[in-house]
Amino acid sequence: MDDRTVKYYKTWLLYSVFYSFSTTMSTVFYQSYAIRVLNFEVEDLGNVTSLNIAMIALGNFNGLYLLHRFRNKRLMLWRTFISLNAVLWSLIGFMDLVEGSRYLFYTCVALAQLSGAMGGLASSDTIADMVPRDLSVKVFSKLNTYVTASSSVSLLTATVVFNSIGISLHSYRVCYGLSMVSAIASAGLLMLIKDLNVRRSTVVNFKTFINGFKEVFDDVNLRSYASLMTMFMFAVNLPAALWNYYLIMVFGGSEVWISINNILNTFALALGSYILSKVSHRLNPRNTFIYSIIPISFVPVVFLMSSTMVSQALMNFYSGLSWSGFNLMTSVYNLYLPRESNRLYLLSTIGIANNLSAALASRLGASIASISLTAMQSVFVASCIGRLLSLIYAKRKLSSI
């Protein structure tokens, strides 16, 4: 990379630190805020989690057309929508101040995820032109290390707040206030990044737009990869609405548990990313992708057996290490498996299919869980089995890059 690219690359890393601090603080506690302050039950959590994920799918569809139309202004799209995403998530901790707070809570989550998905496409397209393919594993390993370290600091800060002030509305005010400050800082840093590879915009009609998706499905490698991700995300998100509810209502945990769990999880992610960055030249992307699914598959079952704060913390450390390789390789596959002409359509296809699948899974999981405690536990077991089935599919269908 030349000097100008290196300059903006470093600014991108710093922006990512502040953005991660903000969104970690606001998204980790939104379910516990809903339970404690807005009195949400498991069905309500299922609704908001499903909406959360479904709006990402809608954003990926809308965002693709918008990015085609204004690709020469993709940096502006990145700045606008990602900044809106971070600010809206930060506002969630103040919903109880407004009449009709439950409905506004749903609206804020939906708009945050919609804007985040649209901005995410623009940022991925911009970064793919900034980072050379031969440096991708090293660069994304470093990024993951920075981001997960920032998340750990965010969660450590939240732990201090909840420990010193207590489990109260005031603690949520402080945490979401800090999230807002960091969101504004990340938006400021994003303004300093320049697009050094401006792409030409194209106005496409609906038929051409749909043909772009058809090209993805006609390519057996892209189709197999998208199918794998959809299957895997369905299995992963079956208990998406249940983790914090089970921890608080069944294990008797608190926001401090949630903070510590996520600190250990993100620390393990950072550690895993750091280790992978050091051995990146020896990694086989396909094998790393496939075999990272094995330890990930057992996370839901281990969760059910972890009823104390210490065992929960250890479980989350194990989970973080397990996900580090998978997260890294999905970043690489998403950007470099398709041809440049198909990149946006694959990113959009993955975003739409994954999140529709995940939204359906989380709603289904919450509905089953509302029947009884045993039914809730069966959702976690089903998630484990589904992940292992995805492993079998990956070994048969996933192509090398």
pLDDT 10s digits, 355-368: 889 989 999 999 99
In this structure, which topology does domain 3-192+204-397 adopt according to CATH? Growth Hormone; Chain: A; (1.20.1250)
pLDDT 10s digits, 30-73: 999 999 999 898 888 888 988 988 898 888 788 878 887 888 88
Query: Is a pLDDT exceeding 80 seen at residue 199?
Result: no
What are the domain boundaries of the chain? 3-192+204-397
Work out the angle at residue 302's Cα, subtended by the Cα atoms of residues 298 and 305, and round it to the nearest 5 degrees: 155
pLDDT 10s digits, 302-343: 999 999 999 999 999 999 999 988 988 888 888 788 887 777
State the burial class of residue 120 (Cβ atoms within 10 Å of its Cβ: 0-12, 13-18, 19+).
buried
Using CA atoms, how far apart are residues 116 and 84, in angstroms rounded to an integer? 8
Q: How confident is the model at residue 196 (pLDDT cuts 50, 70, 90)?
A: low
Per-residue DSSP letter, 400: P
Work out the angle at residue 382's Cα, subtended by the Cα atoms of residues 380 and 384, and round it to the nearest 5 degrees: 75
What is the structure's pLDDT at 69? 81
Query: Is a pLDDT exceeding 70 seen at residue 299?
Result: yes
What is the structure's pLDDT at 4? 65
Q: What are phi and psi of 84, to 5 degrees?
A: -65, -40
What is the structure's pLDDT at 344? 76
Q: Give percent of the chain above pLDDT 90.
A: 46
- Residue 264 to residues 214, 240, 313, 322, 331: CA-CA distances in angstroms? 42, 19, 6, 12, 22
Q: Which amino acid is at 390?
A: S
| Interacting residues of 206 by C-beta distance below 8 A, sequence separation 6+ | none
The overall average pLDDT reported for the chain is: 87
pLDDT 10s digits, 237-278: 999 989 989 999 999 998 889 889 988 887 888 788 778 877
- Residue 211 to residues 27, 125, 215, 270: CA-CA distances in angstroms? 36, 20, 6, 39
pLDDT 10s digits, 99-131: 878 889 999 999 999 999 899 888 888 887 777
